Structure 1
Amino acid sequence: MAEGLADRGYLPGPRISRVYSRWAKGDWGALLTGNIQVDVRHLGGYGDLATRDYQAEEYQSLNAWELYAEACQEHGTPAIAQICHPGRQSPRGAGERGFLGQTIAPSAIPLHIGDGLAASIVRSIIFGCPKAMSQSDIDRVVAQFVNCARVLAQCGFSGIELHAAHGYLLSQFLSPRSNTRQDDYGGSAERRARIVLDIIQQIRNVVPATFCVGIKLNSADHNASDFEDTMTQIQLFSDIGVDFLEISGGSYEDPTMMGRGVRDESSNAKDQSTVAREAFFLDFAIQIRKRFPNLILLLTGGFRTREGIEAALKAGVCDLVGIGRPAVLRPDFPRLIMDDKAYSNREARAVFSKVPVPFFARLLQIKVLGGGAETEYFRGQIHRIADGLPTYAP
């Protein structure tokens, strides 16, 4: 999901605080924010929040972050800020780099958003070709992540989550498909993970010991050639002491986090268990649990019912369940799930259809437009919450 509710200066304001205040009243175990970008020059979308290296006199900017953290946590719910750099997935005009400014990435490999001439033209217009990052670029990005975490800790958030999934910059470094470097930041699973390890270590040096530091990673197919590389990287993150690992998946190239290209969310196939029907990335979570039994796992993507959530937890597949789109339609979703006296299993659910993909997107076979339709619909529903209006399922 993406809120698209930043005020001037990419700061949080009353509207986004109103949304999170509504969720804070819903008895959630914790709130994970949408993306907070670490570099105002590179945003993942128009309306993204972003931090700067604020000077002491910029107290009004810091106060905006403090008010946001307070709204998220006003009912005692801890808030974890998801911090991100989009890398090559930053559209033109999003941020301060200028419409003709290049995106950055570990290697100069453009997005592949579809086959054919139309997809190539769309990609060129919206994203262009990224610039391969120099050592100074890498050092700057590491410092920006650390600065963002420091600011958010100072302003009252309970922790941060590094967004190293969905094809954003840190995910681009981790994957051999987008990182073909042959230096200290590429060429092996360990070196591709170096930038993330540097960020985690340096964040730990500037935040309180009680400040939570988690990471979101993409799932990997057990049969894929890079599966063992992913396991190696998770071992490194576990060894350095991340507090939790969130499992998600997809990217702009292949938006599986939106349920595109995975099993139908509303499937009633008798040969699938409830949890298998709901959890998009269940198989990968099972593999992680086998190898890393002590790592706190947050499984996100596809959960819609009490039965599905309960089955995943009882089976030990994960420790925490992430809920996205149902939280927009039902900000009090935890009450619906937890109160088995007031709500039967038949009632304790938020099942809805996928947002229809525009005809031209199907015609052009551009996958990102399918995920984009889903994001835009739910962004609009989040804006309705900000305006005090009811939300509607697609």
Structure 2
Amino acid sequence: MALALSDPVKLPCGLELPNRFVKAAMAEMMADPKDGLPNEDFIEAYGKWAEGSWGAILTGNVQVDLEYVGSTKDPSTGPYMKKNIEIWRLFADTCQKKGTPAIVQICHPGRQSVRGAGRRGLFTQTMAPSAVPMNMGNGLLAKFVRWLVFGAPREMTVEDIKRVIDLFVDTARLMADSGFAGVQLHGAHGYLLTQFLTSKTNFRTDEYGGTPEKRAKIVVEIIKAIRSVVPATFCIGIKLNSADHNSGDFDATVRQIELLIKAGIDFLEVSGGSAEDPKMMGRDHLPKKVEAKKSERTLAREAFFIDFATQIRKHFPDLVLMVTGGIRSRRGAEAVVHSKAGDLVGIGRPAVINPKFPQLLLDKSVPDEEAQLVLAKVPLPGWIKFLDLKALGAGVETGFYVTQIQRLAKGLATFGP
């Protein structure tokens, strides 16, 4: 089997990634809550990844609305402000100092904006396509947690929607002017664009809801508007949640992806889960040591969302697909590429523990049995198991790796659970 992971990948916009490994987006929680700008900690951490021989580096999500952010320490932008370009340019230069393209993940949390995050008041409602509250569970405790952390959203007006579109475009233009290679729209994990795309949270009957096409309208308008203000070689990707391809949801998702391709996306990353049901954290998936006798199909299942990606490939053979989640070994990554489920392999948690993980996997002198990084689940305190709230378990998992990123930023050794 040829080492396909070392092959370059050229995106439709013309941007060429030197290999197939992408450092996936992960929450850093290091920005100053006062201005949301990247600081020295970001420079130090991403400087380590810049040395890692990645095909591309995806930043953690950058919130486009200073009023509504996902957590208190998320980086954020707001309306286009030329005075901030130098700060973002330093960030871009650091990520790309060895020639690796850096892509900024941009996001609006919608109803998943926690109380106290952003510049909105503590009791100012979040906003969403429809006034559908978070579902943290049916018990009284779950309902109290939902009220305490998120409150209840209000339905967005058309004016709200137009403002959010402008904020996504402003952020993309700022990143292009700062020297980044592209942006990725965060349309997964229960954030605002996901809330529009799915009928589970979008009950609108106007131009932004009611059919798969109308639910995708906000995303299509964002992509087209970004394309009109950035260079032709600037990359625009999107991260989407997987869907059950045995249900009607899959047909709707296929139709929406078709519209996104026509609007001008360069790649699609397959993910899944939300704050309500955090599949992306893989709490039910514990990687085992990869054995040489395992089949390619079994190896590919290191990836959490491989089945969905495989089905999408059948509909869109030329779409550049990125599969992220659970990939821990050279054999697993190779299997994803050779099965044609993914063109790009997203690596998250192993990238934190070993910022130079691609160098290990691409080194032909390292045996397959050693070209891997197996990570256990983060142990959960007993009280969390007793409460039986999925979001709390995911929060512990996220918190552990956030701490490791912060250690990376301080020049300290990182370690797995």
Q: TM-score range by the shorter chain?
A: over 0.9
Alignment of structure 1 residues 229-240 onto 2, 5 Å: 229-240=252-263
Gaps of 5+ in 2: 1-25
The one-letter amino acid of 2:39's match is G
> Contact 1:35 / 1:82 at 8 angstroms: preserved in 2?
yes
- Matching residue of 1:311: 335
- Matching residue of 1:351: 374
Q: SS of the counterpart of 1:226?
A: helix
Report whether the alignment pairs 1:194 with 2:220.
no
Residue 223 (structure 1) shift: 1.5
> Contact 2:289 / 2:374 at 8 angstroms: preserved in 1?
no
Alignment of structure 1 residues 290-301 onto 2, 5 Å: 290-301=314-325
Residue 264 (structure 1) shift: 3.0
Alignment of structure 1 residues 1-394 onto 2, 5 Å: 1-7=26-32, 8-56=34-82, 59=83, 61-261=84-284, 263-266=285-288, 273-341=297-365, 343-394=366-417
Alpha-carbon distance between aligned partners in 2 of 1:120 and 1:159, rounded to the nearest angstrom: 39
Alpha-carbon distance between aligned partners in 2 of 1:359 and 1:87, rounded to the nearest angstrom: 32
Alpha-carbon distance between aligned partners in 2 of 1:259 and 1:292, rounded to the nearest angstrom: 27
The one-letter amino acid of 2:74's match is D
Alpha-carbon distance between aligned partners in 1 of 2:173 and 2:80, rounded to the nearest angstrom: 11
Alpha-carbon distance between aligned partners in 1 of 2:314 and 2:80, rounded to the nearest angstrom: 43
In structure 2, relative to structure 1, the CA distance for the partners of 1:365 and 1:259 (3 Å cut) is same
> Contact 1:119 / 1:366 at 8 angstroms: preserved in 2?
yes
The one-letter amino acid of 1:173's match is F
Deviations 1:37-85 (A, max 9, x none): 00011111121000122445xx2x2211111111111111000000000
Residue 359 (structure 1) shift: 2.4
Alpha-carbon distance between aligned partners in 1 of 2:297 and 2:197, rounded to the nearest angstrom: 32
In structure 2, relative to structure 1, the CA distance for the partners of 1:372 and 1:272 (3 Å cut) is farther
Residue 275 (structure 1) shift: 2.6
> Contact 1:357 / 1:369 at 8 angstroms: preserved in 2?
no
Alpha-carbon distance between aligned partners in 1 of 2:85 and 2:228, rounded to the nearest angstrom: 21
The sequence identity of aligned pairs, in percent, is: 53
> Contact 1:265 / 1:277 at 8 angstroms: preserved in 2?
no
- Matching residue of 2:13: none
> Contact 1:115 / 1:366 at 8 angstroms: preserved in 2?
no
Question: Normalising to structure 1: TM-score of the pair?
Answer: 0.96
The one-letter amino acid of 2:377's match is K
Deviations 1:86-116 (A, max 9, x none): 0011100011002111111001001111221
Residue 224 (structure 1) shift: 2.6
Question: Normalising to structure 2: TM-score of the pair?
Answer: 0.91
Deviations 1:10-41 (A, max 9, x none): 00111111111100000000000000000011
In structure 2, relative to structure 1, the CA distance for the partners of 1:379 and 1:271 (3 Å cut) is same
Aligned Cα root-mean-square deviation (Å): 1.5
> Contact 2:50 / 2:95 at 8 angstroms: preserved in 1?
yes
Gaps of 5+ in 1: none
Alpha-carbon distance between aligned partners in 2 of 1:240 and 1:77, rounded to the nearest angstrom: 26
Alpha-carbon distance between aligned partners in 1 of 2:186 and 2:295, rounded to the nearest angstrom: 34
> Contact 1:88 / 1:169 at 8 angstroms: preserved in 2?
yes
Residue 171 (structure 1) shift: 0.4
Q: SS of the counterpart of 1:83?
A: strand
> Contact 1:254 / 1:368 at 8 angstroms: preserved in 2?
yes
The one-letter amino acid of 1:336's match is L
Alpha-carbon distance between aligned partners in 1 of 2:338 and 2:295, rounded to the nearest angstrom: 20
Ranges of 4+ aligned residues in structure 1 off by more than 6 Å:
267-272
